[in-house]
Structure 1
Amino acid sequence: MSHDRERTSGTERLVAALTWTLLLFGLWLWGRGLTGVPHPTGGPTTGNLFALAPAHAPRLPAPAKPLGDAVPQRVDIPQLGVQAPVVRRGLDAQGAVDPPPFDQPGVVGWYGAGTAPGARGAALLVGHVDTETRPAVFYKLSTLKPGETVRVVRSDGKVARFTIDDVRVLPRAGFDAHQAYAPHRPGRAELRLITCGGSFDRAAHSYTANVVVSAYLTGTAG
């Protein structure tokens, strides 16, 4: 390999790392400006919700082999009665994943420049918790539990089945973006469902936390 090629590869890795760092920082800021009804969590508003009841931890299935790239078309969350179309989104002015417009509260946004759901790595799906007048697609996201299922319908005709293994409501103060959004285990196909959480600070016009549901690929249909 030539020295020029080595320098080019190193530059590409640096750019990729900087892009990921910027994205994670932007996600930390994501959700500012949402208004409306209180978040529906009846229990704690921060921390690993399921870790508070370890005696009920389910036996989780083994991970499935990652799929190739394909565009997500719909996300189904049977426990919440959610069947939502997915649209490709980029980054907003703050460097965070740009959620769908407020006039599309039932739509989920996928960070199209990142990992595709079912492919190796962590795919990011974002949705509003509410609007100024009503609940939105991820209103009950924090009520999900490990062992429950999320399905993503893909453009290649496959349905990627993910098993939830972690549900957290993470306060924005001292937020660890890498812990929340980076892959938990190397080699797996993982999924993150992200929305606002905690309580709504009307003075700051933002929520005090983010809900982050983590899942990993455990099966495929189609």
Structure 2
Amino acid sequence: MTFNLIPAGTFMMGSPSDEPGRVSNETQHQVTLTNSFYMQTTEVTQGQWEAVMGSNPSYHDECGADCPVEYVSWNDIQNFITALNALGDGTYLLPTEAEWEYSARAGSTTAFANGDITETLCAYDPNLDLMGWYCGNSGNTTRSVAQKEANDWGLYDMHGNVYEWCQDWYGNYTTDSLIDPEGPSTGSLRVVRGGSWNYDAWRCRSAYRNRGFLDYRYNYVGFRLVLSPGQQ
């Protein structure tokens, strides 16, 4: 696994009211992250999962060891993180929703890290096509990680390929400015982000939010990890 240092900073989380594909749960609000952190440069791959857990749960196992692991629930990932941390190489965890969007944007304010969205469905979107796999270019399957362009912070597949589980419970946004938000204190659904190989372009925007039950497994949802500063 490789990780890039993401600097502390302030950004506008959510989407502007005129962004194509926007939905009502993307209320814009200012967020400040006071601590830098390391974000995994790719989604966790099938090979990385199998190296830790001894087996590959992926529905798309024919895609290969360099493809993102999927068909793993939020609870499954907690078991993976426990096993990974037990190796003693560092303390890994899922990103908060704010950390995820901040990393996906990499300083951008547009729908995608490289510009605006022009096609909300499965037709050709020039910006998304450069950065991510979605229903318009995936061939109806997952793809090996890091085949598209990275964002300005060196992160791959933040748009598309597979959705990514986050640490937070899912809940409505506030309009208040927040510092190091961690989401609601309780809930029944966990946040997933980023869009996937089988979904429309509008769901791959940096601001798009989705969610899933803790024990549900989907063949279009995986994850990436964060690592605390000083442990790289």
The TM-score with structure 1 as length reference comes to: 0.29
Structure with higher RCO (Cα < 8 A, 6+ apart): 2
Higher alpha-carbon Rg: 1
The TM-score with structure 2 as length reference comes to: 0.28
